[in-house]
Amino acid sequence: MTTEWKEKLAVWEKKVSLLKELIALEEEHGDVESTDASPRKAPKAARPKKPAKAKEKPAASNYRGKEVSLPELLERIGAQHKRSFRYEELAVLVKAAGYASESENFNNMIYQALQKLTKRGSFVKDPDTRLYRYVGRKSQ
Domains assigned to the chain: 67-134 (1.10.10.10)
3-class DSSP assignment, residue 100: coil
Looking at residue 139, its pLDDT comes to: 57
The average confidence (pLDDT) of the chain is 77
Give the residue from 130, 103, 136 showing the smallest Cα distance to 117. Answer: 136
Which residues face 66 on adjacent strands?
63
- Secondary structure (DSSP) of 53-64: PTT-PPPPP-BT
The pLDDT-based confidence of 59 (bands split at 50, 70, 90) is very low
The pLDDT-based confidence of 114 (bands split at 50, 70, 90) is very high
In degrees rounded to 5, what are phi and psi of residue 94? -65, -45
The radius of gyration of the chain from alpha carbons, rounded to an integer in Å, stands at: 16
The pLDDT-based confidence of 118 (bands split at 50, 70, 90) is very high
Looking at residue 138, its pLDDT comes to: 65
Q: Is the pLDDT of residue 124 over 50?
A: yes
Report the distance separating Cα 98 and Cα 47, nearest Å: 9
- Burial label, 63 (beta-carbon count in 10 A; 0-12, 13-18, 19+): buried
Looking at residue 58, its pLDDT comes to: 44
